[in-house]
């Protein structure tokens, strides 16, 4: 039986220990260590390395791991399991000593910094690049991720965020294969709370957290697209109706600010350019947030600016990613805007969106 042992990630040290017996080489692009299993025989025939020394083997594994090796190929025939036992010893003694990487940015007290990011059902490799980019952004202490796949890519994104110090994650699993919305924090812990949305609830998770003495309500949304011709707009309409019905009750549960954000797949009335594909029922969904007592944070700060978060094949821009804040907390909005870098870098087909709220230690 051949096995591969995977060890945790870590930073390479500033200096490398001297070679000690079982030689570990630093080779550009890869890491390797010499055989460690020791002597073995099968039907009287030698199959191992009689010169392997256990102390030197352990030291060689330690050096290889400190150089960055985290994948070891072994088998039970290497010294009748001796190789695997040495690897187990190394893993149990080395992994607890490896400190997790320091986050690029630390949350600031008294300020809520939120990012909306459409993951575009990324593959595992692209999802890990997305997580690294998000973690490197100062205004991403809280992240609402939309269009997160339910398969390997979505799981890789959540795992990668945790590796980048997003220790608190609300990620509901859909009952059937579907996209979902994920809320993650590298600051205060989040507690999942009922959103009241009875249709596709995995697309509208809700959470609460204590930020500088304020209990903040969060609702992430990913509205379905129009769907196939035979079921055109059915899912989209049903989800929009469920959100509009649940929103007023959700807002009454919080005295502090409430933020509702995500990819709504609708534009505001008066959007430039005019997009005839959107109907009155979709503009009505946008207005339902205003009617419930919220404000469009971007439009509140930029009443006359035209920006877009997604571009169609014709080149027309669509502002379909939105952030809403409870109206009586509008004065706390310090920043709200779009970041086009992830779209331009091919990480996703949407611009990211950021919000900064100034909070104090008082309540209200």
Q: What is the CATH number of the domain that holds 254?
A: 3.60.10.10
> 185 is written with which tokens?
């924090």
Residue 101: pLDDT band with limits 50, 70, 90: low
Residue 100: pLDDT band with limits 50, 70, 90: low
Give a yes or no: residue 104 inside a domain: no
Q: Are residues 124 and 189 in the same domain?
A: yes
Q: Are residues 137 and 92 in the same domain?
A: no
Please tell me the chain's helix, strand, coil percentages from 3-state DSSP, rounded to the nearest 5.
Answer: 30, 25, 45
Give a yes or no: residue 363 inside a domain: no
Residues 323-336 have a mean pLDDT of 97
Kind of pairing, strands 214-222 and 258-263? Answer: parallel
Residues 316-328 have a mean pLDDT of 97
pLDDT of residue 57: 77
Last residue of a domain, one of 97, 123, 139: 97
CA distance 65 to 92: 12
111 φ/ψ angles, rounded to the nearest 5 degrees: -135, 130
Q: How many CB atoms lie within 10 A of CB 9?
A: 11
> 363 is written with which tokens?
């309540």
Angle at 326 between CA 251 and CA 189, to 5 degrees: 70
CA distance 285 to 317: 20
Residues 88-96 have a mean pLDDT of 65
pLDDT tens figures, 108-153: 778 999 999 999 999 999 999 999 999 999 999 999 999 999 999 9
pLDDT tens figures, 48-67: 665 677 777 777 777 776 66
Q: Are residues 86 and 129 in the same domain?
A: no
- Whether the CB-CB separation of 226 and 210 falls below 8 Å is answered with no
Give a yes or no: residue 166 inside a domain: yes
Helix (H) / strand (E) element for 125: namely helix 124-135
CA distance 364 to 358: 12
Q: Are residues 131 and 52 in the same domain?
A: no
Give a yes or no: residue 294 inside a domain: yes
Q: Are residues 242 and 159 in the same domain?
A: yes
**3-state DSSP call for residue 305?**
coil
Q: Are residues 81 and 122 in the same domain?
A: no
Residues 208-222 have a mean pLDDT of 94
Give a yes or no: residue 106 inside a domain: no
End-to-end CA distance of the chain: 63
Residues 171-176 have a mean pLDDT of 93
Residue 36: pLDDT band with limits 50, 70, 90: low
Give a yes or no: residue 90 inside a domain: yes
Q: Are residues 203 and 120 in the same domain?
A: yes
Residue range(s) defining the domain that contains residue 202 = 111-358
Least confident of 97-106, 142-151, 256-265: 97-106
Indicate the angle between helix axes 152-163 and 124-135, nearest 10 degrees.
30
Side-chain half-sphere of 30: how many Cα atoms within 13 Å? 3
Please determine, for residue 356, whether its predicted confidence score (pLDDT) is greater than 50.
yes
On average, the pLDDT of the chain sits at: 85
Helix (H) / strand (E) element for 78: namely none
pLDDT of residue 103: 66
pLDDT tens figures, 266-301: 999 999 999 999 999 999 999 999 999 999 999 999
Q: Are residues 34 and 128 in the same domain?
A: no
Domain count, the chain: 2
Please determine, for residue 323, whether its predicted confidence score (pLDDT) is greater than 60.
yes
């Amino acid at each position: 039986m051949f096995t591969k042992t995977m060890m945790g990630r870590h930073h390479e040290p500033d200096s490398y220990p001297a070679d000690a017996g079982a030689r570990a080489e630093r080779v550009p692009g890869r890491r390797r260590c010499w055989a460690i299993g020791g002597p073995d025989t099968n039907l009287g025939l030698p199959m191992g390395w009689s010169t392997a020394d256990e102390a030197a083997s352990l030291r060689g594994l330690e050096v290889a791991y400190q150089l960055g090796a985290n994948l070891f190929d072994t088998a039970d025939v290497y010294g009748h399991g001796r190789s695997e036992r040495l690897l187990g010893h190394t893993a149990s003694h080395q992994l607890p000593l490896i400190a997790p990487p320091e986050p690029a940015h630390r949350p600031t007290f008294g300020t809520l910094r939120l990012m909306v990011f459409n993951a575009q059902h990324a593959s595992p490799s692209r999802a890990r690049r997305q997580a690294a980019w998000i973690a490197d952004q100062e205004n991403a202490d809280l992240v609402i991720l939309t269009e997160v796949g339910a398969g390997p890519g979505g799981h890789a994104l959540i795992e990668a965020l945790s590796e980048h110090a997003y220790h608190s994650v609300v990620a509901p699993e859909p009952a059937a294969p579907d996209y979902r919305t994920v809320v993650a924090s590298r600051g205060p812990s989040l507690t999942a709370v009922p959103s009241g949305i009875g249709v596709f609830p995995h697309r509208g998770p809700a959470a609460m957290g204590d930020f500088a003495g304020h209990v903040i309500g969060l609702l992430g949304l990913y509205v379905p697209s129009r769907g196939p011709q035979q079921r055109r707009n059915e899912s989209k309409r049903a989800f929009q109706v469920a959100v509009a019905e649940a929103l007023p009750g959700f807002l009454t549960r919080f005295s502090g600010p409430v933020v509702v954000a995500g990819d709504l797949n609708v534009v505001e009335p008066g959007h430039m350019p005019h997009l005839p594909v959107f109907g009155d029922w979709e503009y009505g969904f946008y207005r339902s947030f205003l009617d419930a007592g919220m404000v469009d944070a971007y439009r509140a700060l930029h009443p006359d600016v035209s920006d877009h978060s997604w571009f169609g094949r014709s080149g027309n821009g669509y502002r379909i990613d939105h952030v809403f804040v409870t109206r009586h907390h509008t004065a706390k909005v310090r920043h709200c805007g779009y970041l086009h870098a992830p779209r331009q870098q091919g990480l996703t087909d949407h611009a990211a969106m950021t919000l900064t709220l100034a909070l104090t230690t008082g309540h209200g």
